[in-house]
Each structure stands twice: as structure tokens, then as C-alpha cells.
Amino acid sequence: MAERFCNLIAGRWEFPEANPPIESVNPADISDVVGIVPESTPEDVNRAVESARKAYSGWRLVPPPRRAEILFRVAELLVKNKHFLGELVTREMGKILKEGLGDVQEAIDMAYYMAGEGRRLAGETVPSELPDKDCKSVRVPIGVFALITPWNFPIAIPAWKILPALVAGNTVVFKPSSYTPVCATRFVELFVEAGLPEGVLNLVHGRGETVGRVLAEHPLVDGVSFTGSTKVGEAIIKSCAGIGKEVSCEMGGKNPIIVMDDADLELAIEGSLWASFGTTGQRCTASSRLIVHRDVYDAFLTGFTERAKNLRVGCGLEEDTDMGPLINETQLARVLHYVEVGKKEGARLVTGGRRLTGGVFDRGYFMEPTVFTDVTEDMRIAREEIFGPVVSVFRADSFTHAIQLANSTDYGLSSAVYTRDVNRTAIAERELNSGLVYINAPTIGAEIQLPFGGIKKSGSGHREAGGRGGAIDMFTRMKVIYRDFSGRLQKAQIREE
Ligand code: UN1
């Protein structure tokens, strides 16, 4: 029988049995059950939130550099377990092993970085307009955070949320995706091993529509941080709006890469392949629109399609695999449905579009890398997030036209431009309407020391990762202190004239 993975509530590992448990299966081989986790009840969520509340009174007073020492130990444990966890990411989520290891590396980077933040949680000291009075701002934690994470980065995205939340002095109830719960549990185990006090980090397993919803709407939760679809993110924002919670949502993308006539074409092709088909297109930063200047359109399309056809699809644990499976049956069906939508709308399918079958493919959720051309701005495949290995190629008449096409969706997470013209890079940097802009590099691969997040329907405006200006702002509040040591009533703004 498959191994059982528990909730962690108030320092105790437990497996509630009220509901039928959830099986986590390997998307490359559905006969391989990675583990079994509970579908928790509202009562379990309640206890987890209460545990976090209780632990908050002590954790918020632990000096941040001391909190950071525990995070540093988490970083060291991640390094020690990198290979084990990387393989687990591949087995549970499907991305190829190099990327599974990259997922863990992103968490390692974040853990060291956030450990450093423990000595940098700075506010400001500024002069007062009145004599014998001083003013300063300090950072305080927000309280209990509900952290709800997706399956596509089963270690990295939890790390993006848990580590800054904790260093800032918040306590946490973590609800990972029910498709990658084993990775999440293994990650949480490292915090226990690193010596995190009981109740500071709680883990509840279950589905989003049940456990996630109850957790986000819980009255004793002070803040919610969610990464996932725009549909769910918007629902969370609405449901929390009346309760006065801090809510931050990282949502979808429809990220463009512009390839100009003066680009290094080989580099642009290589970058576009990585951003479109890396992680099987299942990144919020994946590029799904390639906007190519008409003068290099044919050369680009020929090279890109040829390379897409030659990508080796298979199990991510095999050394020579370029692209793994999709996460599950529903996601595969959704992506294949979009292929049909594209064809019906009149786009031209130049390669791919089918589920892969036969041999090892019958064991999992594999599909071909898929390329559409003759796509117009108004088509659904040009506007909606597909979250799979499907990319649309557009022809641009000019640089201005390319920028206009790039900005023409409801999303605004990441965009990229390939050009050798320095002036164009400056204009692209200014005009591309997205939270991240890449010059001569693809739309994926954000580094953790900078703020991460999108605009429009891609995000609620908060920024993850990074320090001040990023995650530290998200997980703290500024508190302002005025101290008057004049011994008399002094009135700001009121002048005796
Ligand atoms: C996501 O897909 O939700 O920039 C995050 C990147 C990664 C993070 C992606 N570092 O592609």
C-alpha cells in the first residue's frame, strides 16, 4: 500500500479519516501512487488555524535574526536533500529531473535569502517637524497567514510564501495543492527538523474547493496568499473583501515573446522553445504567444517548428527527456480542448495537437508540443491561459505593432523581446505592460532576490519574492511610532502665526 502523509497541526502529525483520502499519482505513470493524504474537514482547518493563532503570540516576539537561524537550517537541509526532493518533484508533478532539481534550488535560494532578511527587516527614522520629538516606522507581522499553493512548483512556490511569512514573524497554515501533497509534506518535515516551534507552521491537506475555501475564509486568518488560476484568485479576493484581510493572489499569464528582425534568431528560437515547452508549458510565466517580425517570420517558424517536433516527450526521470507529461487527466483534456477551439476559430495547426499514445505514453498524460499560426488577437487561444504545451505564433508588421500585440491581453505577468537594437530594448522595457520584462532572454526563470508578480488579471498587485518592495512588504505591516519627549502638548500642523 502507498505511504500515508499526514497533516501537521500544533506539532502533531495526524491523518483524519472522516473523508475518503486523496491519492497522489505520478502523471507519467498513473499506476505509481506517490502517496495518500487526508481530505481534511472544516474542523481540522479550525484546529490548524487555532494552533497558528496560539503560536503567534510567542513567534512574533522571537527576534527576527533568531527566526532566521531556523530558516538557515532549513536551507542547509534542503541542500542535503536536494536530490531526493528533486526526484520527488519529478515523480509527483512530472517536470523533467533537471527542472525538479531547479524547483528545489529555487527553495534553497529563497531560504538563504530570507534567512538574511532576518537582519534586514528595516523601517525608517525621519525627523519630526516638532522639537523634542522623534518618529520612526517599524515592520510588524500581520498574524496568521493562509498559504495556498499550486502544483506546478511543488517546493519552490511554498518556499516563496512560507519562508518570508515566517521570517517576518507570522504563523502559517499551509494548504498545498492536492496534486502534489507529498512534496509539500516532505518540505514541511524539514522545518520540523530545523527546530521550528510547534504550531508556527501547520499543514492541512485537501482540495481547494473544500479545504482551501474554508481556510481562506476563516475569520481567524489575517492574511491569504494564493497562487493559481485567475478564476480561483478572483473568487478568493471577493470572498475576503468584506472581512478586511490582507489578500495576495498570483494568477495566470499569457506571456509574449517578441522576436525582431535584428534578433539573434538561433538564440530567440532556443529561448522560445524553453519558455513554451519547458515544464510542459505549465508555468504562469510560460510564453504562449510568439510575436515575430514579418522579415524573419518564415525563418523563425521553420526553425522553431522543426525543433518543437524533435523534442523528446516522456517520463521526466529518463535522462534524455525534454518534456514531461501534463499534471492530470483534467488538465490534459482542457489543453486538448483548446486545440480544438483553436482549429475551429481558424488558426492553423502546424505541429502537434494530439495526445500521445502507445507504449509508455499509455501510462500517463502526455501530449505533443503544439504550434499554431494564423492566430489573431481576438481568438480565444490568443487570449486565454491554456497552461500546457501550446503556443501561437503571430506575425508583426513593425516594432510598434509587436508591442501592441504583446499588450493586447487581459494578463500582464511576463514578457520578453529579442533584439540587438539598444534603443528598442529601452522602448520595450518602458512599453511592455507586465510585471516582468526580459531582454534577450525568455519569459521564464525569475530569480528570487527580485520582486515577482504581474498586473491586470495576473495578480492582485502584491509582489512575491525579493525583500523590501517584494515579499517582505507583503508579509509585514508598517507601524509608525511618534515619541514626544518635550513634556508639553505639541500640535503638528498647527502654527501660532
Ligand atoms: C509559476 O509558474 O507560478 O520565473 C512561477 C519562473 C519561475 C517561477 C514560476 N522562477 O518561471
Do 405 and 317 belong together in one domain? yes
Same domain? For 89 and 210 the reply is yes
Nearest CA to ligand 1 atom 3: 284
Q: What is the CATH number of the domain that holds 216?
A: 3.40.605.10
Find the Cα–Cα–Cα–Cα dihedral 332, 231, 49, 89, rounded to 10°: 30
**pLDDT number for residue 243:** 81
Rg (CA), the chain: 24
Helix (H) or strand (E) holding 130: none
Q: Supply the pLDDT for residue 53.
A: 98
CB atoms within 10 A of CB 88: 23
Domain count, the chain: 2
For residue 394, being part of any structural domain is answered with: yes
Q: Measured in angstroms, how far is the CA atom of residue 152 from the centroid of ligand 1?
A: 9
pLDDT at 244: 81
CATH code, domain with 428: 3.40.309.10
For ligand 1, is residue 151 a contact (CB within 6 Å)? no
229 and 335 belong to one structural domain: no
Mapped onto helix, strand or coil, the DSSP state of residue 477 is strand
CA of residue 53 to ligand 1 center, whole Å: 31
Q: Terminus-to-terminus CA distance in the chain, angstroms?
A: 84
Residue 444 lies in a domain: no
Domain-embedded: residue 446: no
Q: Which of 106, 284, 368, 385 is catalytic?
A: 284
DSSP tag of 452: B
Note whether residue 492 is domain-resident: no
Only one residue has cell 521550528, namely 196
Residue 196's domain comprises 7-251+458-481
What spacing in Å lies between the alpha carbon of 465 and ligand 1's midpoint?
11
Q: Quick count: other Cβ atoms within 10 Å of Cβ 469?
A: 11
250 is catalytic: yes
Pairing of strands 124-127, 255-259: unpaired
Q: Quick one: 334 and 277 in the same domain?
A: yes
Pick the residue whose CA is nearest to atom 6 on ligand 1: 445
Taking the alpha carbons of 464, 470, 471, 474 in that order, is the dihedral positive or negative? negative
Query: In 3-106, at which residue ranges do the beta strands (DSSP E only) sit?
Result: 7-9, 12-14, 22-26, 29-37
Rounded distance between C-alpha atoms, residue 466 and residue 114, angstroms? 9
Question: Which residue from 396, 440, 442 is spatially nearest to 418, judged by alpha carbons?
Answer: 440
Q: Are residues 172 and 145 part of one domain?
A: yes
Return the DSSP state at 209: I
Name the residue among 152, 421, 408 with its Cα closest to residue 279.
152
The packing angle between helices 64-80 and 181-193, to 10°, is: 120
Query: What whole-number distance in Å separates Cα of residue 15 and Cα of residue 181?
Result: 13
Residue 490, domain member (yes or no) = no
Does the beta carbon of 444 lie inside 6 Å of ligand 1?
yes
| pLDDT of the chain, 497 residues: tens digit per residue | 799 999 999 999 999 999 999 999 999 999 999 999 999 999 999 999 999 999 999 999 999 999 999 999 999 999 999 999 999 999 999 999 999 999 999 999 999 999 999 999 999 999 999 999 999 999 999 999 999 999 999 999 999 999 999 999 999 999 999 999 999 999 999 999 999 999 999 999 999 999 999 999 999 999 999 999 989 999 999 988 888 899 999 999 999 999 999 999 999 999 999 999 999 999 999 999 999 999 999 999 999 999 999 999 999 999 999 999 999 999 999 999 999 999 999 999 999 999 999 999 999 999 999 999 999 999 999 999 999 999 999 999 999 999 999 999 999 999 999 999 999 999 999 999 999 999 999 999 999 999 999 999 999 888 999 888 899 999 999 999 999 999 999 999 998 87
Tell me if 438 CB under 6 Å of ligand 1. no
Same domain, 221 and 312: no
Q: Is the CB of 285 under 6 A from ligand 1?
A: yes
Distance 170 CA to ligand 1 centre (A): 24
Residue 29 located in a structural domain: yes
Question: Is 283 a pocket residue for ligand 1 (Cβ < 6 Å)?
Answer: yes
Going from the Cα of 18 to the center of ligand 1, the distance in angstroms, rounded, reads 35
Give dist(CA 210, CA 57) in Å, integer: 28
Confidence (pTM): 0.97
Of 39, 92, 99, 250, which residue is the catalytic one?
Answer: 250
Q: Output the pLDDT for position 279.
A: 98
Whole-angstrom CA distances from 244 to 141, 148, 237, 460 are: 16, 18, 11, 15
DSSP-based helix, strand, coil % in the chain, nearest 5 = 40, 25, 40
> Do 18 and 46 share a domain, yes or no?
yes
In a domain, 306, yes or no: yes
